[in-house]
Amino acid sequence: MDNKNQIKIFKDQKIRSKWNNEEEEWYFSVIDVVGVLSQSKNPKNYWKVLKHRLKKEGSQVVTNCNHLKMLAPDGKYYKTDVANTEQILRIIQSIPSPNAEPFKRWLAKIGKEHLDEIADPQLAIERAISNYRKKGYSEEWITQRLKTIELRKELTAEWDRAGVEEGLEYAILTDEITKAWSGMTTNQYKQFKDIKKENLRDNMSDVELVLNMLAEVSTTQISKSTNPEGFEESKKIANEGGTVAGNARKDLETRTGESVLTRDNANNPKLLDKNKKIQ
């Protein structure tokens, strides 16, 4: 857990939060969120009553809430109920308040969009293109980014064929590939770029994307040619595939005299500018 306390501001009111590096999750003070949305003069009591009601309804959100020490107004640290983003959104759904209503409408909208995308996957692609354009990415970068998604699907399909389990094992293999070509695990790469929940690929330059694609397509091709079985054999191949791109990165850096890995991220206009200039 990141020891540094963070403060989020909502409608001029503070919400205490902490970032968990291992889980890559934000945790928020439930009392702060409840206080802001309910406008209760006694948010502790409001949360106590709400918590009791949620338990009676059989909700697991209360059971799954963690306790962390957070800085109080008196300057001391006290244990308080905290919840991650998913849990906070569930709690918000149970707060009858005008302040909570925009979040509820947003959740309903997101839910409908997700169901629409399941029925017609093309909608997800079109929405992604629209979002990338709004953020300022070049058309060439967007085309390249969509190609990474296509190649990633081919890779995960190969992992599925080999008997690799989705979730933790996928994440470990992705780390293996990323470390082999970049010298960093996915989490280390994110820290290098100073991003947290954001997608790493969305924060890559053109060259980084190309090398990442080379690493994943190499892993896919090696796997198809050797037909591994299970996680351990696939892990070895993930390292081999990533090493192909890693060697290409080192060769390019030797020839140019500079690192192809950049700390720039999508929050920094320099990344978008570089992507446009490289074309």
C-alpha to C-alpha distances, 79 to 82, 92, 157, 215, 254, nearest whole angstrom: 9, 21, 44, 44, 52
DSSP assignment string, 31-73:
HHHHHHHH--S-HHHHHHHHHHHHHHTT-SHHHH-EEEEEE-T
Tens digits of residue pLDDT in 186-240: 999 999 999 988 899 999 998 999 999 999 999 999 999 999 999 999 999 999 9
Residue at token pair 């040619």: 225
pLDDT of residue 239: 97
pLDDT band per the 50, 70, 90 thresholds, residue 279: very low
- pLDDT value of residue 1: 45
pLDDT tens-place string over residues 136-180: 888 888 999 999 999 999 999 999 999 999 999 999 999 999 999
In a 13 Å sphere around the CA of 57, the CA atoms on its Cβ side amount to: 13
Average pLDDT of the residues of the chain:
87
| Residue 128 pLDDT greater than 80, yes or no | yes
Rounded to 10 deg, the angle between the 230-256 and 139-162 helix axes is 150
pLDDT at 58 over 50: yes
Specify the pLDDT at position 21.
Answer: 77
Q: List the 66-71 sheet strands across, edge first.
A: 6-10, 13-20, 25-29, 77-84, 66-71
Mean pLDDT over 115-143 rounds to 86
Asked whether the predicted pLDDT for residue 5 surpasses 80, the reply is no
Contacts of 252 (CB under 8 A, 6+ apart): 207, 260
